[in-house]
């Protein structure tokens, strides 16, 4: 593992989310300064800020890229209770503060009265659809009926998933399964749920509930490549990472699961799988990123620890040279530097 680059983002406040596009050639950042910045990879590995603009009237919590088959489109959500859809333009747009952006606002979605905590585009084979979750526990689904006109978004579903704030969502991206989404919330009694779409009734229904000892901050559903089961990872306030193995229908937990990965000494804020779902990364308040991989017996072991001082402790002699890992640590930590972004890849 090596440090590839470090961005001095020049955001004026905390960075809440970092999102890398499908090809790994662009990075979008959002912050409490109400701005979005888009970075592009140039020759010799240089990263240049190509656009920046004031996007919301409150702190921006999340930013996500749509699949490139739908064009250059990003969505952002904010404390100002809105979701904004942005599309790249051929000509630059200049605002009142003389900042240059190539991104035009195509739509503003504001159906709720609460802060929008998370947004996720659906897997591309479901079409151009977007899920939003707010601090009241309400989840809403939207669809663009015409992918050539991003100004039109129709709400298709609205349902209550929790009585408390939703922290994170993750779609099941498998093409062979019905639409399913995992929801993590602040509800200690029911912090993680699996919801599935029933085609006959055209409704979303609550399925499996996965118990935890504390609040779940983040959830990530692993890509189901060559497997007959699902893997879901969670990051919890209790400082533990949990990996759940579910059957193909995601209705039954496998024996000896969840597997609890221990080692972090602080609250765990984010987990993310690599592209094949074989290595998991976790980040926590202890200032470290840990990489986890299952052995031949199905036990998940820590491969390495990467600290904020760029020191790495390797737990196995041989590194996985064929695994690409992307991790965006988007926690809101007031003790952290707010304009320094480090990206590490394997």
Cα gap 135→167, rounded to integer Å:
8
Say what the pLDDT of residue 91 is: 85
As a dihedral over the C-alpha atoms of residue 333, residue 181, residue 243, residue 324, rounded to 10 degrees, the angle is -70
Q: For the chain, give the mean pLDDT.
A: 87
Q: Cβ distance 225 to 177 under 8 Å?
A: no
286-301, pLDDT tens digit by residue?
A: 999 999 999 998 899 9
Q: Is the pLDDT of residue 270 over 90?
A: yes
Q: Which CATH architecture has domain 8-281?
A: 7 Propeller (2.130)
Helix (H, G, I), strand (E, B) or coil at 188: coil
Q: What is the mean pLDDT of residues 330-338?
A: 40
For residue range 11-40, list pLDDT tens digits in order: 989 999 999 999 999 999 999 999 999 999
Q: How far apart are CA 252 and CA 224, in angstroms?
A: 16
Please answer whether residues 208 and 193 qualify as being in contact, where contact means their C-beta atoms are separated by less than 8 angstroms: yes
Contact 4, 30 (CB under 8 A): no
Q: Which pair of tokens denotes residue 38?
A: 């888009």
pLDDT digits (tens, 9 = 90+) for 224-262: 888 889 999 999 999 999 999 999 888 899 888 999 999
Which pLDDT belongs to residue 187? 93
Taking 60 as the threshold, does the pLDDT of residue 343 lie above it?
no
Count of alpha carbons within 13 Å of 315, Cβ hemisphere only?
Answer: 13
pLDDT given for residue 342 in this prediction:
53
Instruction: Return the pLDDT at 334.
Output: 37
* pLDDT above 70 coverage of the chain, percent: 86
Per residue in 179-205, pLDDT (tens digit) is 999 999 999 988 999 999 999 999 999
Tokens describing residue 53: 């603009």
- Distance, CA of 192 to CA of 180 (rounded, Å): 13
**327 has pLDDT over 60:** no
What token pair was written down for 103? 């991104």
Distance CA 75, CA 30 (A): 11
- Report helix, strand or coil for 340: strand
Domain parsing of the chain, residue ranges: 8-281
| Sign of the CA dihedral running 247, 250, 251, 255 | positive
Task: Give residue-wise pLDDT tens across range 79-133.
Answer: 999 999 999 998 887 766 656 789 999 999 998 889 999 999 999 999 999 999 9
pLDDT of residue 335: 38
> What would you report as the CA-atom Rg of the chain, rounded to the nearest whole angstrom?
19
Torsion over CA: 229, 232, 238, 240 (sign): positive
Which of 223, 206, 109, 89 minimizes the C-alpha distance to 159? 206
């Amino acid at each position: 593992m090596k440090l590839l680059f470090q961005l001095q983002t020049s955001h004026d406040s905390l960075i809440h989310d970092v999102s890398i596009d499908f090809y790994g050639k662009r990075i979008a950042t959002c912050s409490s300064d109400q701005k979005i910045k888009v970075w592009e990879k140039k020759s010799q590995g240089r990263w240049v800020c190509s656009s920046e603009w004031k996007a919301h009237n409150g702190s921006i919590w999340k930013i996500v890229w749509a699949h490139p088959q739908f064009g250059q489109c990003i969505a952002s959500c904010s404390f100002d209770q809105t979701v904004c859809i942005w599309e790249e333009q051929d000509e630059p747009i200049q605002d009142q503060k003389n900042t240059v952006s190539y991104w035009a606002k195509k739509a503003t979605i504001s159906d709720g009265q609460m802060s929008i905590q998370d947004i996720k585009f659906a897997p591309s084979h479901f079409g151009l659809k977007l899920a939003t979750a707010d601090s009241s526990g309400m989840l809403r689904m939207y669809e663009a009926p015409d992918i050539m006109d991003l100004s039109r978004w129709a709400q298709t579903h609205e349902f209550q998933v929790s009585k408390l704030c939703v922290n994170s969502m993750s779609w099941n991206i498998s093409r062979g399964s019905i639409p399913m989404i995992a929801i993590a919330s602040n509800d200690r009694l029911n912090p993680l749920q699996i919801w599935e779409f029933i085609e006959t009734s055209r409704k979303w229904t609550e399925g499996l509930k996965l118990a935890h000892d504390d609040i779940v901050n983040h959830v990530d559903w692993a890509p189901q490549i060559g497997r007959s089961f699902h893997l879901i990872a969670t990051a919890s306030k209790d400082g533990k990472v949990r990996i759940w193995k579910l059957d193909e229908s995601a209705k039954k937990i496998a024996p000896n699961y969840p597997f609890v990965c221990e080692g972090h000494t602080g609250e765990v804020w984010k987990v993310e799988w690599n592209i094949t779902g074989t290595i998991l990364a976790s980040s926590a308040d202890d200032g470290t990123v840990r990489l986890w991989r299952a052995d031949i017996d199905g036990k998940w072991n820590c491969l390495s620890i990467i600290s904020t001082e760029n020191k790495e402790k390797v737990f196995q002699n041989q590194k996985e040279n064929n695994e690409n890992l992307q991790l965006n640590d988007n926690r809101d930590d007031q003790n952290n530097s707010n304009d320094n972004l480090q990206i590490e890849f394997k």
